[in-house]
């Protein structure tokens, strides 16, 4: 049987592309579909299509409320087709069907939320110091947006870019990762069905310079919204030096979860397990550094080891499965390297630490817990993007804060304690864009998201995100009927 083929979506047309590549099923390590590899010419056409659509009355002439209605329609279609999208994401990335179904079902709320905000973008009048002048501010679409997303949680990570961009009146070229692009290429059909004018949303995928660099450096791109790793982000910043595109970066993390001795251990245990082993640890907010107060250190590790050993690993399409494979061969190789270096540096293996022999091959890796005496080992310092938990003891609150902040990243953090005053002190002192107290991984379209340090620039989500897709235009209106004075006549 021939492999299914997925087209790109450029200016309202579905195109298989002159160049293609095979996508690998992470649970079997075998090709399962053929994807379009966008060339530099393809990307240029997509950007130019978005630029034309930006000024076309079919889009530019819509009222803000009409744009909002289109976003509501898109949200409804995502909800209606969430199971199909979930199955594709599971097949192409290995993320278990229980997670993809729940997450994509919630993604619809993001489009509805930004649909509701579309006609809430307001200008304002200014009380200027000129008696015969009025001045006011308008907010207008920033222009063509290049949205670049990774394979993990791609429909969610697209929604936090597409939603505010379209609500603001921008047009978009969305680049899906070459690893697991199927759900976003299928999502293009929902964009088309929702009734967005041609060229408003274009969706491509491809490799390296031909696709990513051409897109982010394109002279007609005014805004880049990127989610991925710091190394790629540096390339993007260099790319945007030519077009001076406004750029936001949502990058990686080494998020600390701090558990004090007075915490509810049942709640903390379940949150830690969800924070590191959900999505096989392939989450930018994975709670990969666990800081535990010494009196409960051994007891909490024991609970976590028991939970880790009981996790059901296997076919990601099976709803009984609790953890699936990693997404790519290079990802599992990276994890093996970091774990090996960490063990050589003195980390103690509490459980896991090797590939899992799931039937039919696949990039499966065991839930792994490493006990570390300090933060110098590789597994504590480097983002693994996998199911590996590093556990470090701390002595008191000062020690916990010092260790939590001992990282170049600063995306998220968790704090578990029964003391409200301690919780507030930790919230103030931890350098992270998101702090969860007595919970972990809660998200909402209403709440901004982003990090400090190497975890990125800017914020996504919430009301203010929509303003990041607008430019401010200052307008002056002279209110006097008298002729303007001759500038060369001195009075």
Q: Across the beta sheet with 470-478, what order do the strands follow?
A: 124-126, 133-141, 470-478
Q: Which of 250, 322, 383, 460 is catalytic?
A: 250
Distance of alpha carbon 469 from the chain centroid: 17
Report the C-alpha gap between 217 and 173 in whole angstroms: 13
d(CA 222, CA 248): 12
Q: Which residues contact 194 (CB under 8 A, 6 or more apart)?
A: 70, 73, 74, 77
382 is catalytic: no
- Cα-based distances in Å from 219 to 47, 143, 200, 241, 321: 9, 11, 18, 10, 46
DSSP symbol at 485 = P
Burial pattern 392-410, b for ≥16 Cβ within 10 A else e, equals bbbeebeebbebbbbbebb
Residue 97 CB burial class (10 angstroms; 0-12, 13-18, ≥19): buried
Q: 465 is written with which tokens?
A: 């995100």
Quickly count helices (H) and strands (E) in the chain: 16, 20
For 157, the token pair is 């990570």
Contact 335, 386 (CB under 8 A): yes
Q: How far apart are CA 329 and CA 345, in angstroms?
A: 25
d(CA 53, CA 57) in angstroms, rounded, equals 8
Query: Closest by alpha carbon to 124, among 139, 114, 143, 110?
Result: 139
DSSP string, 111-152: HHHHHHHGGG---EEE--S-TTEEEEEEEEE--EEEEE--ST
Main-chain phi, psi angles of 472, to 5 degrees? -90, 130
The DSSP H or E segment spanning 105 is helix 97-117
Check if the beta carbon of residue 112 is closer than 8 Å to that of residue 71.
yes
* Integer Cα distance of 67 and 311 in angstroms: 44
DSSP three-state, residue 395: coil
Catalytic positions, please? 250
């Amino acid at each position: 049987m021939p492999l299914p083929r997925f087209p790109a979506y450029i200016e309202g047309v579905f195109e298989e592309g002159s160049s293609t590549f095979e996508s690998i099923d992470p649970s079997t390590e075998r090709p399962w579909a053929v994807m379009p590899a966008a060339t530099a010419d393809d990307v240029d056409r997509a950007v130019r299509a978005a630029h034309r659509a930006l000024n076309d009355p079919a889009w530019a002439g819509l009222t803000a409320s009409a744009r909002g209605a289109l976003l509501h329609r898109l949200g409804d279609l995502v909800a209606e087709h969430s199971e199909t999208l979930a199955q594709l994401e599971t097949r192409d990335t290995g993320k278990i069907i229980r997670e993809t179904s729940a997450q994509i079902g919630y993604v619809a709320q993001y489009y509805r939320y930004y649909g509701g905000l579309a006609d809430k973008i307001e200008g304002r009048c200014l009380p200027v110091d000129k008696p015969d002048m009025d001045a006011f501010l308008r907010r207008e679409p920033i222009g063509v947006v290049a949205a670049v997303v990774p394979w993990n949680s791609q429909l969610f990570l697209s929604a936090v870019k597409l939603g505010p961009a379209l609500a603001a009146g921008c047009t978009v070229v969305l680049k899906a990762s070459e690893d697991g692009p199927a759900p976003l290429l299928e999502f293009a059909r929902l964009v088309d069905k929702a009734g967005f004018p041609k060229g408003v949303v274009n969706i491509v995928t491809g490799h390296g310079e031909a696709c990513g660099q051409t897109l982010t450096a394109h002279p007609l791109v005014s805004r880049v919204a990127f989610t991925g790793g710091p190394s790629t982000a540096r390339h993007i910043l260099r790319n945007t030096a030519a077009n001076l595109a406004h750029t936001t970066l949502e990058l990686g993390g080494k998020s600390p979860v701090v558990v004090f001795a007075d915490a509810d251990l049942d709640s903390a245990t379940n949150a830690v397990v969800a924070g590191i082993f959900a999505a096989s640890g392939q989450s930018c907010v994975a709670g990969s550094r666990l800081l535990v107060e010494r009196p409960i250190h051994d007891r909490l590790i024991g609970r976590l080891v028991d939970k880790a050993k009981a996790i059901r690993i296997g076919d990601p399409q099976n709803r009984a499965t609790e953890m699936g494979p990693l997404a790519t061969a290079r990802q599992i190789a990276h994890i093996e390297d970091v774990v090996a270096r960490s063990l050589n540096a003195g980390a103690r293996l509490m459980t896991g630490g090797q590939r899992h022999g799931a039937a039919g091959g696949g990039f499966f890796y065991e839930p792994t817990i490493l006990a570390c005496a300090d933060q110098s080992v590789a597994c504590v310092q480097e983002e693994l993007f996998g199911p590996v938990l590093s556990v470090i003891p701390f002595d008191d609150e000062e020690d916990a804060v010092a260790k939590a902040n001992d990282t170049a990243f600063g995306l998220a953090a968790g704090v578990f304690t029964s003391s409200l005053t301690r919780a507030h002190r930790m919230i103030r002192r931890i350098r992270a864009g998101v702090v969860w107290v007595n919970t972990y991984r809660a998200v909402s379209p209403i709440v901004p998201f982003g990090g400090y340090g190497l975890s990125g620039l800017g914020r996504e989500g919430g009301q203010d995100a929509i303003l990041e897709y607008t430019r401010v235009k200052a307008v002056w209106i002279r209110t006097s009927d008298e002729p303007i004075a001759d500038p060369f006549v001195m009075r």
